[in-house]
Amino acid sequence: MNYNHEQFENIFAHDRKAALSEREREIMKDEVRLFIVKHPVRPSFYESLFARLQNVHAGLSIESVTGPRLHPVLAGLLIVFVGAGTSYAAENALPGDALYAVKTLVNEPVRAALAVTSEAKVKLNVALAERRLEEAGTLATEGRLTADTREQIEAKLDKHVKVVEARTSALAEVESALAFALDTQTTLEAALKAHESALGELAEMRPEIRELPLILRAVALQLESLARVRSASERIVARGDLNRVREFAADKRREVEAEIAKGSGESAQVARVAKGSTEDAAVMMMSAFAPADTALISEEATTTEEKIDPVIEALNTGVQKFDAGEYGEAFSDFQKAFRTVQEEKIKSSVRARLKLEGQAPAAALPFLYDEEDSEKSHEDTFDSESDEKKR
């Protein structure tokens, strides 16, 4: 063939310049606008069904009918009645959405009713507390965080945290459940802290979201009370039999080290560190932790180092105290290190979700090019480069 691609570029050069006139474009857009008005978005089947259901039960919320606790049988019936589809569709609803009531008055009570043991209920409430904060973040980024939605979130968050606190404090009194209670408290605390700090960043970046500082204050209060409950549990551990405390401390230390090693692919090295001296531990931890942390937080090395410090520091202090036989204190230090690691992990995912990397928010609709950029292969890159050269 005589035509190569470059010649074809020329053939169509004229066609590439074709454009609509300003007037043509305006007329066409008006037509489309008119069409949109005439053909409004139809509410989905489940949405309209739910709207009807709400009317039928006007004034009778599920909680007022059944009391705060939903009977499992009724829970099952509700699923059938309301329809699994609505229930599923409601999972991603936010305060202010039509389906949010399904999510918090049907889905979540159903899950609570199905969570029979105290442990399951606690775990569920930890997850739900996190969920409320995720909702807050999403609403804030979408500009939908109003006084109303904020109050809903705060009230529900308070309820979930209270449940976790009450149940874990009770569980902490039982020897066999103590570790679980403490772990759960630690997890929730780390999650709240992670959300607090990510939302704090968002509040700084976008001071126009007025409700955000108020949510942050509410989270800070929850954190205070949670920290009190958690230290009470830690004291229970420290009061126990020395061998038992030693076991607790050693377990927690292993957990911290495992967390640090995770993702860095240098678990062997870390394992050796556990046996080595404290000084070596610090140096090797740094090397083992750095790559994992960079991947997690994806920030510059300097910032990463600042973030490692509290973990390594707490771990080192813990190791020193552990070697000195002060297992109770060592345990609290390992706990602190563990919390910090968890917090960073959750925070990085929250930050990613809130798109907090100093980037402008992504376009509302994903166009071909947006997505292409991220998955551009080397071949494509080469291709586009050579294309540019041709032009």
Partner 1 sequence: MEREFLAAYDANTDALFRHCLARVRDRELAKDIVQETFTKTWTYLADGKRILYLRAFLYRTLNNCIVDVMRKKRSVSLDAMAEEEGFEPEGEADTPAEVREEMGEAAELLSELDDMYASVVAMRFIDEMRPSEIARVLDVSENVVSVRLHRGIRELRKLWEARRNTFDAGATGDATDKMP
Taking the mean position of all CA atoms in its chain, how far away is CA 98?
Answer: 23
Shortest gap between Cβ of 91 and partner 1 (angstroms)? Answer: 16
Asked whether the beta carbons of 100 and 93 are under 8 A apart, the reply is yes
Determine the Cα–Cα distance for residues 180 and 277; give it in Å rounded to an integer: 30
128 burial type by CB count under 10 A (0-12 exposed, 13-18 middle, 19+ buried): buried
Q: Of 364, 374, 378, 389, which one interacts with partner 1 (CB under 8 A)?
A: 364
Q: In this complex, which beta carbon is closest to partner 1, that of residue 90 or of residue 129?
A: 90
Among 126, 103, 138, which Cα is nearest to 212's?
138
Q: Does 42 bind partner 1 (CB under 8 A)?
A: yes
Q: Of 19, 58, 73, 360, which one interacts with partner 1 (CB under 8 A)?
A: 19
Shortest gap between Cβ of 378 and partner 1 (angstroms)? Answer: 12
Tokens of residue 331, six digits: 């345990």
In sequence order, which residues have a C-beta less than 8 Å from that of residue 330 and are 6 or more positions away? 249, 253, 318, 319, 321, 322
Q: Does 380 bind partner 1 (CB under 8 A)?
A: yes
Q: Does 373 bind partner 1 (CB under 8 A)?
A: no
Q: Of 204, 306, 323, 383, which one interacts with partner 1 (CB under 8 A)?
A: 383
Q: Of 367, 374, 378, 389, which one interacts with partner 1 (CB under 8 A)?
A: 367
Q: Does 239 bind partner 1 (CB under 8 A)?
A: no
Q: In this complex, which beta carbon is closest to partner 1, that of residue 73 or of residue 365?
A: 365
Q: Does 10 bind partner 1 (CB under 8 A)?
A: yes
Q: Does 302 bind partner 1 (CB under 8 A)?
A: no
Q: How many CB atoms lie within 10 A of CB 185?
A: 28
Q: Does 385 bind partner 1 (CB under 8 A)?
A: no
Q: In this complex, which beta carbon is closest to partner 1, that of residue 9 or of residue 204?
A: 9
Number of residues interacting with partner 1: please give it, by CB under 8 A: 41
Shortest gap between Cβ of 25 and partner 1 (angstroms)? Answer: 6
Q: Does 15 bind partner 1 (CB under 8 A)?
A: yes
Q: Of 63, 91, 309, 371, which one interacts with partner 1 (CB under 8 A)?
A: 371
In sequence order, which residues have a C-beta less than 8 Å from that of residue 69 and are 6 or more positions away? 113
In sequence order, which residues have a C-beta less than 8 Å from that of residue 347 and are 6 or more positions away? 193, 194, 195, 197, 198, 297
Q: In this complex, which beta carbon is closest to partner 1, that of residue 3 or of residue 208?
A: 3
Asked whether the beta carbons of 132 and 153 are under 8 A apart, the reply is yes
Determine the Cα–Cα distance for residues 9 and 144; give it in Å rounded to an integer: 47
Residues that bind partner 1 (CB under 8 A): 1-3, 7-12, 14-16, 18-20, 24-25, 28-29, 31-33, 35-36, 39-42, 44, 364-369, 371-372, 380, 383-384, 387
